[in-house]
Amino acid sequence: MFSRKPPIQEYPEVGNELDESLIEQVLDDAEDSPAEFSASPTCRKPLKPTIISEGFEFVGAITSEGTVHIAGIVKGVITAKSVLVDVEGMVEGEMTTDNLMLKGSVKGEVLCNELTIGPRAMMDGNISYQNIHIQRGGKVSGTFNKKRSM
C-alpha cells in the first residue's frame, strides 16, 4: 500500500498537494487494516509451541494446552495436547498427550492417542495408545496397550 509514493517524483511542483492526499490515503488504509488484523486472531488459535531447546534440561512438570517441542532433556511429568520429541530430545518420566511424535528418546509411562515413532527413536516403558505408527528402525521396548476408542 506504500508503493503509491513514487508519483511524487513525477510531479515535483505539486508535491505538497499530493503529499496531503497521500497522507489521507495512508490514513484510510490504516483505518481499514486494524479491522483486518482484529478479525484474523479470532479465526486461528494463537497458541505458540513451548520449546525446550537443545542443551536445556528441565526437571519438573509441564502442562500445556498446545504443543510442546522438546529438543533438550525433560525429567518429570508432561501433560500437553501435542508433544514433539526431537532427534536430540530426551524425556524421562510420565507423559500424557493427544498426539506424540517421537524422534528422540523416551523412558517411562506414556499415555497418548496418536503415537508416531520415527526411524531413529528410542522408547522404553509402559505405553498406552489408540493409534500407533512405527517407522522402520524405531527401537521400542516395554509394554504396549491399545486403548479402546473413547
Tell me: does residue 145 bind other proteins (CB under 8 A): yes
Site membership for other proteins, residue 42 (CB under 8 A): no
Please name the amino acid found at residue 18. L
List Cα–Cα distances, 109 to 29, 78, 128, in angstroms: 54, 10, 8
Which residue, 66 or 124, has its beta carbon nearer to other proteins?
124
**Is the four-CA dihedral 27, 29, 34, 37 of positive or negative sign?**
negative
**76 backbone φψ class: left, alpha, beta (φ>0; ψ -120 to 50):** left
Confirm or reject binding of residue 16 to other proteins (CB under 8 A). no
Nearer to other proteins, 52 or 110 (CB): 110
| Contact range with other proteins by CB under 8 A, out of 23-31, 52-60, 75-83, 142-150 | 142-150
Q: Compare residues 66 and 142 and give the one whose CB is closer to other proteins.
A: 142
Q: Which is nearer to other proteins, 94 or 114 (CB)?
A: 114
Residue 3 CB, nearest approach to other proteins (Å): 48
Residue 121: exposure state from Cβ atoms within 10 A (0-12, 13-18, ≥19): buried
Q: Binding mask 96-135 vs other proteins (x if CB under 8 A, - otherwise)?
A: -----------------------------------xxxxx
Q: How far apart are CA 117 and CA 115, in angstroms?
A: 7
- How far is C-alpha 75 from the geometric centre of its chain's CA atoms? 21
Q: Which stretch binds other proteins (CB under 8 A): 56-64, 68-76, 104-112, 137-145?
A: 137-145
CB 93 within 8 A of CB 78: yes
* Residue ranges binding other proteins (CB under 8 A): 131-146
